[in-house]
Structure 1
Amino acid sequence: MEWSDLSLETTPFDEREFTQLWLLATALYGVGDVVTTIALIEYVPEIDEGNLLMATAVEQFGLLGLVGLKVVVFMLCIWVSLWGARDGDAVVYYLSPALLAVAGAFTTVYNLWLLFGVT
């Protein structure tokens, strides 16, 4: 299956809803988590990245590695969501943006707590 095969045209799902779901996931995971993680890496040297894969990406490629890996995860999740939509599977369709939004919200709050809680 290719990206071009993934479309909402022949599915029971609405493009507007899809856009709103992914805007929320982008705000929480793509912006909130990335910005707060970068702030921690740059301004709080006492704290190391807790995710081994992310830590390795940052160690090897710097902040570009962090952002690149986040983009790969994000694109993979969009692909899974569109794949679920194509099959009419609501669970698969909604699960990807929901998981990213929840993970992004949690890590953003946790990162802010670390950022402002370090004395």
Structure 2
Amino acid sequence: MSRSRDRRRRRPAYNRRPQEFYWLWIAATATYGVGDIVSTIAFLEYVPTIGEANPIVVLALDSFGLSGLVLLKIAVYLVMLWISVTGARDGDTLLYYFPPVLLTLVGTYLTASNIRLLWLS
């Protein structure tokens, strides 16, 4: 039996290990979704002398205000979730784990950076 055929027979990783899937995405949501959004909004509101550094976020903020920031974050989150689910269905471990781990690391870094800038200002 070929490897690709064997992958189709296996249940996706999120069905075999649902707790793992949920915790990976809870961590991504907490850091990238909540932590970065809240700390960015706090930073923008309480430190008006320093602006947002990311040009894509600046464009979203200028065009749609804070809702633009939230919509941008949701769009990135949903694309990454789609990649992870597709990876799980295809049996691709890298595509399954990479999106939530990346969002968690990026969210942690951005949240810590925003809090540091808030603290120093």
Taking structure 1 as the reference length, the TM-score comes to 0.89
How many aligned positions are there? 110
Are residue 50 (structure 1) and residue 53 (structure 2) matched? yes
Q: CA RMSD in A?
A: 1.1
Structure 1 unmatched ranges of 5 or more: 1-8
Q: 2:44 aligns with which of 38, 41, 50?
A: 41
Aligned counterpart in structure 2 of residue 20 of structure 1, from 23, 31, 42: 23
Cα deviation, 1:13-62, whole Å, max 9, x if unaligned, reads 41111111000000010011000000011111011111100110001100
**Structure 2 CA distance, aligned partners of 1:26 and 1:12?**
19
The one of 80, 83, 91 equivalent to 2:83 is 80
Is 1:59 paired with 2:62?
A: yes
CA distance in 1, matches of 2:32, 2:13: 26
Aligned to 2:34: 31
Tell me if 1:96 matches 2:108.
Answer: no
SS in 1 for 2:75: helix
| Runs of 4+ with >4 A deviation | none
Q: State how far apart, in whole Å, the 2-side matches of 1:12 and 1:109 are.
A: 31
Between Structure 1 and Structure 2, the one with more helix by share is: 2
| Shift in CA distance, 12/69, structure 1 to aligned 2, threshold 3 Å | closer
Code of the aligned partner of 1:110? S
Give the aligned residue type for 2:36: D
Structure 2 portions without partners, runs of 5+? 1-9
Q: Cα–Cα, structure 1 residues 12 and 23, in superposed 2: closer, same or farther, change >3 Å? A: closer
Distance in 1 (alpha carbons) for counterparts of 2:107 and 2:69: 14
User: Equivalent residue for 1:69?
Assistant: 72
Q: Cα 1:50–1:12, aligned 2, differ >3 Å: closer, same or farther?
A: same
